Amino acid sequence: MPRFPDHGEDRGAANGFSRSEDDRGSSRRGLNGRRDGNNDYDSFSDADYDRLMEYPDDVDYYSLLGLSRTPPPSDVDIRSAYRSLTLSFHPDKQPAHLREAAKQQFEKIREAYETLIDPKKRTVYDLLGAEGVRREWSAGGAMGKGGAAEQQQVGVKALGPEEFRRWFLDTMKARERKVLDSLVQSKGSISLGVDATSMISADEEEDYVYIQLPTLRPSSYAIGYSFRTPLPSFKELLGRVDEETENENEESENDNDPSKQAIQSEVTFSASVGGKLQNPMREAKFVYPDGTEEVKRVAMPLIMIAQNVSLGASINHGFRNVASTKGLFGKLPFSFLEGADASVTGLILPFPTVEAVVAKAISPFPGTKPLIFTFRTGFFRSIFQSLPVIGLQVTRELDAGRTIYCSWSSGSLNWPAFIQELLSPIVDLSVRLDDVLSRPTQMSKVEIGYISAPRKSTTAEEEEEDDEDDDDMPVTRKREVGAAESWQLQVDASPQGGGLSVVYGRNLFSHKGDEKLRSEWSTEGYHPISQDHAARPVRLEIQSTVGIDLSPGWHISGTRQVSDFTRMGLGVGVQGNKGLVMSVSWNRLGQKIRLPIAVCPLPLVSAEIAALAVILPWATYCGVEFGVIRPRERKRRRLALAKRQRQLEKQIAKRRAESQQAVDLMSEQVLRRQAREEENGGLVITKAEYGYYPPRDKKKNTGESKVIDVTIPVAALVDHGQLIIPREVVKFQIIGFYDPAPLRPKKLKIWYRFGGKEHLVEASDSEGITCPMRSHLI
């Protein structure tokens, strides 16, 4: 009978490692081999930090049963693995002193088996893990009491695995959409202009500029609010689609094709008011006790002058599956609307207005990028007074993130004279004099522009491919991705004038940009957004404009994300006749607050004052960023790393004890099976080690080896003369294993005898093992 060393026996002594060193090492060295201390924590890279914080705490059910995720194990494989483990861990098969430990191990095995043998639970487990299964089958979950499954007309229990997966993904997308709608369904904005121009004054005689403490006065305001809500569909007007019995056959195909899914029409209600804030002055006579009188100008209560008022609503609709619609709308020319998006906006205030917009992508040649045509028409006056304003915009994407566009607008046009004269006996088509000033005239204009947007952040499916090519990515490209540079160039011309505007933006103080919010659920699966622990960048934008008369204008702004959904910013620039304006902004999920502060009248604006207005806030922010924010962030990071390391060190001791219990429970059964293999000349595991082996390069101090004996657990995996450990199996979560060196690269070495000959095989955590093989002969 083969002899197996005790699981607690130290296998690292030959490599300069002892049990006492393992026990004491955590007090002197971190889990990654560095000595503990603030300087070492600061040297952690973002990748090390992410790996440490995301180190798995839960047991992987597939690894626990020794199964591979891909290809998915069959029910026969799951039952076979469960029966094999039951022989070793069932409490009824253990002596009294091991029965409690066997009960704990068996409960884990049974929970893993019940989850994986149930197709629905396995689907949810593959997406959300064990915690997701418990959550979705509890009260309020999708499969629990009061959940979405109880609200279905057709029982979810009757769905097959693929049908259930589609249903569950749709349910999760709907739940996510509901949460997002509750956050961003309404939008509001508040702007309060402040007049602080008294801060800077000039002495024209001595040519001096004086800076003094200003008197702050509110000068303008603007308030806006909008909310959107679903619009009921009108199938009676658009024609009915095929009967439900016919739709059921195509339902699965349409669910997987986003282009064929119906888009819910929405209506958005909006209202805004803005104008000036003034303190009117009035002369008042003051009578003093001595009988003297004095006339003074005094300020009256603040009044709000509403110069800009709007109230209206817009309806948005996407045309999908038009070809399958019966009736008039399923034929030309209405079928041409397939894939188009349309919106209709109506305003009641300040005067009745209706505008319609239709956008559709058309590929002029097969295999080429489409041109997006956007046609708009607006009725700003009665059709009996002037022609509608017509506009057309053509947009084409050159490549990823780079777009050119050209737009034209007709402006307000009167009816031609001959038509007015022709229809004069019937209707008067001339413009009424009382409407000339009450409604502004729309000027015709032409715009040509180029947009270079920042490189989009990768999705969860693309991250794996990007990781493989990350080493080959040029350094310049990596910098471009982190800087997120953007350009926008526009030239416009109209009868009133024209101009050139250039906008440039990029990220500062960080090699990673802010990741835009995206959906975590798709028709393919669940792709959670990874938490970014890098320093948050500052988004710098510089805008410059030049009019047709060469009059310049500029604006510099910087914004920074201060929390998950909140951004704050500061801007400086020249805004028309307001002079030099500094603006402070706050933005959270569509709610905006903006405070533009006029600090210098336009006649006094000079290069020196403008430079001072830019440099002072910038220097102040840099001092706060690198003197307060970054040190606090490093301290928070050090504390989080130290706390996480302490948790993992406690976890190692706990897992070591659980592993020893598992080995004690399975030893007798494994020894009998290995004895039978020995008698039949089969596969006999003579020794197995798992852990961290330092590289042979002595120039680098990579720490001592940390290796544990896993002979019994590996021998338990031998089945009918074969040992197969799939590549996807997390080795340190196999029953009887534990991780002796978290975050370090580990190897599994197996010495075995087959056919009377000795063999040796070793594999890293990312490699699988299949025994016996001739290539393993020693």
Does 42 or 281 have the greater pLDDT score?
281
What is the rounded CA–CA span in Å between residue 567 and residue 590? 11
Q: Which of 725, 716, 726, 660 is nearest to 684 (CA)?
A: 716
Element (H, E) at 447: strand 445-452
What is the rounded CA–CA span in Å between residue 682 and residue 756? 9
Q: How confident is the model at residue 759 (pLDDT cuts 50, 70, 90)?
A: very high
Q: How confident is the model at residue 44 (pLDDT cuts 50, 70, 90)?
A: low
Does 232 or 429 have the greater pLDDT score?
429
Q: How confident is the model at residue 211 (pLDDT cuts 50, 70, 90)?
A: confident
Residue 12's Cβ-count burial label (10 Å; 0-12, 13-18, 19+) is buried
Is the pLDDT at 564 greater than 60? The verdict is yes
Report the predicted TM-score, pTM, of the whole model to 2 decimal places.
0.72
Q: What is the pLDDT of residue 123?
A: 92
Q: How confident is the model at residue 748 (pLDDT cuts 50, 70, 90)?
A: very high
- C-alpha dist (Å) from residue 374 to 311, 333, 567: 25, 17, 32
Q: Which of 112, 174, 116 is nearest to 142 (CA)?
A: 174
Q: How confident is the model at residue 248 (pLDDT cuts 50, 70, 90)?
A: very low
Contact of 755 with 681, CB cutoff 8 Å: yes
Q: What is the pLDDT of residue 256?
A: 44
The mean pLDDT of 684-701, rounded to a whole number, is 82
Q: How confident is the model at residue 714 (pLDDT cuts 50, 70, 90)?
A: very high
DSSP secondary structure letter of residue 530: P
Q: How confident is the model at residue 46 (pLDDT cuts 50, 70, 90)?
A: low
Range with the largest mean pLDDT of 250-254, 378-382, 489-493:
489-493
For the four alpha carbons of 87, 89, 95 and 99, in that order, the dihedral sign comes to negative
Joined together, the tokens standing for residue 257 give 């094709």
The mean pLDDT of 167-187, rounded to a whole number, is 85
What is the rounded CA–CA span in Å between residue 662 and residue 107? 13
- Four-CA torsion 596, 601, 604, 610, nearest 10 degrees: 0
743: left (phi over 0), alpha (psi -120 to 50) or beta: left
Q: Which of 289, 251, 90 is nearest to 170 (CA)?
A: 251
Q: How confident is the model at residue 152 (pLDDT cuts 50, 70, 90)?
A: confident
Is the pLDDT at 280 greater than 80? The verdict is yes
Contact of 277 with 302, CB cutoff 8 Å: yes
Q: What is the pLDDT of residue 29?
A: 44
Query: To 10 degrees, what angle do helices 75-89 and 630-679 make?
Result: 80
Residue 489's Cβ-count burial label (10 Å; 0-12, 13-18, 19+) is middle
Q: What is the pLDDT of residue 469?
A: 45
What is the rounded CA–CA span in Å between residue 510 and residue 474? 18
Q: What is the 3-state secondary structure (H, E, C) of 624-664?
A: HHHHHHHHHHHHHHHHHHHHHHHHHHHHHHHHHHHHHHHHH
Q: What is the pLDDT of residue 701?
A: 57
Q: What is the pLDDT of residue 90?
A: 87
Backbone angles phi, psi at 634, to 5 degrees: -65, -40
Contact of 655 with 693, CB cutoff 8 Å: no
Look-up of token digits 């494994």: 670
Percent of the chain with pLDDT over 90: 33
Q: Which residues of 308-318 are buried (b: 16+ CB within 10 A; e: fewer)?
A: eebebbbebbb
> Among 230-244, 463-477, 640-654, which stretch is predicted with the lowest mean pLDDT?
463-477
Does 525 or 111 have the greater pLDDT score?
111
- To the nearest whole number, what is the mean pLDDT of the chain? 81
> Among 75-79, 245-249, 426-430, 754-758, which stretch is predicted with the lowest mean pLDDT?
245-249
Close Cβ partners of 2 (under 8 Å, ≥ 6 residues apart) = 671, 674, 675, 678, 684, 685, 686
Does 236 or 596 have the greater pLDDT score?
596
Does 273 or 247 have the greater pLDDT score?
273
Q: What is the 3-state secondary structure (H, E, C) of 160-208?
A: CHHHHHHHHHHHHHHHHHHHHHHHHCEEEEEEEEEECHHHEEEECCCCE
Is the pLDDT at 750 greater than 60? The verdict is yes
Percent of the chain with pLDDT over 70: 81
Q: What is the pLDDT of residue 725?
A: 92
Contact of 578 with 172, CB cutoff 8 Å: no
Is the pLDDT at 517 greater than 90? The verdict is no
Is the pLDDT at 74 greater than 70? The verdict is yes
Is the pLDDT at 742 greater than 50? The verdict is yes
Joined together, the tokens standing for residue 766 give 């990312």
For the four alpha carbons of 430, 436, 440 and 441, in that order, the dihedral sign comes to positive
Close Cβ partners of 232 (under 8 Å, ≥ 6 residues apart) = none
Q: What is the pLDDT of residue 379?
A: 92
Q: What is the pLDDT of residue 359?
A: 94
Task: Tell me how crowded residue 285 is: count the other CB atoms within 10 A of its CB.
Answer: 8
Is the pLDDT at 708 greater than 50? The verdict is yes
Tens of pLDDT along 632-672? 888 888 888 888 888 888 888 888 998 999 999 999 889 99
Q: Which of 161, 159, 137, 162 is nearest to 148 (CA)?
A: 137
Tens of pLDDT along 330-373? 666 667 788 889 999 999 988 899 999 999 999 888 888 899 99
- DSSP, collapsed to helix, strand or coil, labels residue 424 as coil
Q: Where do the domains of the chain lie?
A: 13-57+633-776
Does 749 or 210 have the greater pLDDT score?
749
Q: Which residues of 240-265 are buried (b: 16+ CB within 10 A; e: fewer)?
A: eeeeeeeeeeeeeebbeeeeeeeeeb
The amino acid at 681: G
The mean pLDDT of 457-461, rounded to a whole number, is 46
> Among 74-88, 142-156, 434-448, 716-730, which stretch is predicted with the lowest mean pLDDT?
142-156
Q: How confident is the model at residue 37 (pLDDT cuts 50, 70, 90)?
A: very low
Q: Which of 26, 68, 13 is nearest to 742 (CA)?
A: 26
Q: Which of 264, 231, 233, 235 is nearest to 324 (CA)?
A: 235
Is the pLDDT at 27 greater than 70? The verdict is no
The amino acid at 658: E
Q: What is the pLDDT of residue 703?
A: 66
Q: What is the pLDDT of residue 522?
A: 81
Is the pLDDT at 481 greater than 80? The verdict is no
Contact of 600 with 608, CB cutoff 8 Å: no
Q: What is the pLDDT of residue 336?
A: 76
Q: What is the pLDDT of residue 647?
A: 86
Tens of pLDDT along 390-445? 999 999 999 888 999 999 999 988 888 888 888 888 888 888 777 777 787 888 99
Joined together, the tokens standing for residue 204 give 């024209």
Residue 319's Cβ-count burial label (10 Å; 0-12, 13-18, 19+) is buried
What is the rounded CA–CA span in Å between residue 625 and residue 560? 11
- DSSP, collapsed to helix, strand or coil, labels residue 104 as helix
